[in-house]
Amino acid sequence: MSLKLPGNINSSLFKQGYQVHSNTDGAINRNIQACREISKMISTSIGPCGKNKIIVNNLSKIFITNDAATMIRELDIVHPAVKVLVMHSEQQEEEMGDNTNYVLVLGGELLNLAEKLVVLGLTPTEIIQGFRMANKFVNNELEQLVVGQIVDFQSKEQLLKIIKPVIMSKQYGQERIISDLVATAVQQVMPKDRPQAFNVDSVRVVKIMGGALTNSFVIKGMVFPREPESEVKKIRETAKVAVFNCPVDISASETKGTVLLHNADEMMNFSKGEEDELHKVIKEIADSGVKVIVAGQGIGELALHFMNKYNLLVLKVPSKFDLRRICRICGATPLVRLGAPMPEEMGIIDVVESKEIGSDRVTVFRQNEETSMTSTIVIRGATKNNMDDIERAIDDSVASIKSVVRDPRLLPGAGSTESELVKRVTNYGEKTPGLMQLGIKKFAEAFEFLPRLLCETSGLDPSEILPRLYASHDENDKETLKFGIDIESDNVNDCLLDITEENIYDSYISKLNAINLATEAVCTILSVDQIIVAKKAGGPAMPQQPKPGNWDQAD
């Protein structure tokens, strides 16, 4: 009697609806293929001449951007292997604020080359071991490629060394204007004695429609895109500030009742007690020396009447984050009770004024001190999408300052570091015995992605430019590191530029972190030999309802 085997081995192991993809079915190849797709999508956006993507998210909001962090945040990715790569990329954005696309594209390139090694017959374990050895070697070599560091964080010229390349990669052609704005804003908030205390949140961006980018400017303090509620619109002298995180109004009772009024006198006296109480509270606030009131919640009409009577400037700030920033600038404590603040709970501000920028009224909180707690870049532009993209570039450049404060060392940019790593890691691979050298050489080959993409996106021929770049790095001399790809060159003879003259540098710690995260993501994906997907929770999907037609159309 023959033994009958079940058709699906996992049929008795899992509930109905489970999906199992094993290595024998080509799970590794499918994972690599999926990661290659996201990597291809991001790679065309790398570099100063990178292309933009139009992304329409699930709320039908349109994004036109070349920022990788925005793309992966708005794309609804479901493939589990790609999610691993995306999570490592998000970690880079969280820690360093820049080089997000570097993690995704280097990871995709490493997986693409690993697939060729799998076809040759290497096991994923051997590839992973080779990649880890190469990554360890790169960590040591990067320290030798350092060509300088930021010495003085108060110097605008020094700050521009790291800000300008980041802005150039996002907003090519406008880098001079935006870099100057960011450097000025960072200078105003950079602590003199302790640069390590620099807070990214100290540099804010306010977008006001109209004008052009050249009309943008920096204000030492905060700008709110709304005008004060009170009749008093400006205070030009040092004033005390009270911040209330509660409604500035008559307190409402918890219970409801019905009141029967017999005549006009009863009606006149009905709310007199409450009015007197509110008047007394506002008078106490004014008598304490407060000139500016910031309210996080609603402001009653009667309260506003009394505050106008005592010439108080009243500003409503619905955002709790902005309220927190105001407290940090002024040194105030947000109060959850309506009443006169204690002396230690008040804040101090130098100038509060309402200005008209374009057709919008804004309120400016300005400090006259040398070092401010907050600096605001006011961006002008014709379209919302353009201003959003400029804001993302500013956020990345400010985040790059945060990473350089942690480690001020700089690497040569414009593909110079990567071309040097290709040479050095390849030499290391040739000296390594056994099958590991195949993985190490492929790891070296992966670094060619950046100079190649810089050439492709700027319209140059990589087959002509890359040999010249490698030839310039042929000598084991640190001086040769100063040559990178000139994306503005018209002919092959002038394809290289001097990085030290153009001040094109990369943050050492940001690039090191990106390489480590990309390697870790690739090793994690290669070590997967099975994907087990559970059945989705919930009942059957509801049938799609037909969309209603235009109400103006004839039946």
- For the stretch 73-99, pLDDT in tens is 777 777 777 888 888 888 888 777 777
Whole-number pLDDT of residue 255: 60
DSSP string, 298-326: -B-HHHHHHHHHTT-EEEE---HHHHHHH
Same fold, 18-148+412-534 and 211-381: no
pLDDT digits (tens, 9 = 90+) for 215-248: 888 888 788 877 777 777 777 777 788 888 777 7
Whole-number pLDDT of residue 458: 75
Which residue bears the tokens 């021929």?
A: 461
Q: Which of 4-8, 35-39, 252-256 has the highest mean pLDDT?
A: 35-39
CB contact burial 175-189 (16+ within 10 A = b; e otherwise) = bebbbbbbbbbbbbb
Full-prediction pTM beyond 0.85? no
Domain ranges of the chain: 18-148+412-534, 211-381
Return phi, psi of residue 213, to 5°.
Answer: -60, -30
Greater pLDDT, 438 or 276: 438
CB contact burial 205-238 (16+ within 10 A = b; e otherwise) = bbbbeeeebeebebbbbbbbeeebbbebeebeee
Whole-number pLDDT of residue 325: 79
Distance between CA atoms of 165 and 485, rounded to whole angstroms? Answer: 13
DSSP SS3 for 5 = coil
Class of domain 18-148+412-534: mainly alpha
pLDDT digits (tens, 9 = 90+) for 358-411: 777 888 887 776 656 778 888 888 888 888 888 888 888 888 888 888 888 888
pLDDT digits (tens, 9 = 90+) for 122-149: 787 888 888 888 888 888 888 888 777 7
Helices first, then strands: H and E counts in the chain: 18, 18
| Range 211-381: architecture per CATH | 3-Layer(bba) Sandwich (3.50)
Which residue bears the tokens 């030492």?
A: 220
Whole-number pLDDT of residue 262: 62
Average the pLDDT over 412-431 and give the result: 81
Return phi, psi of residue 61, to 5°.
Answer: -85, 135
Average the pLDDT over 435-439 and give the result: 80
Whole-number pLDDT of residue 290: 80
**pLDDT surpasses 80 at 205:** yes
pLDDT digits (tens, 9 = 90+) for 448-482: 888 888 777 777 777 777 777 777 776 655 555 67
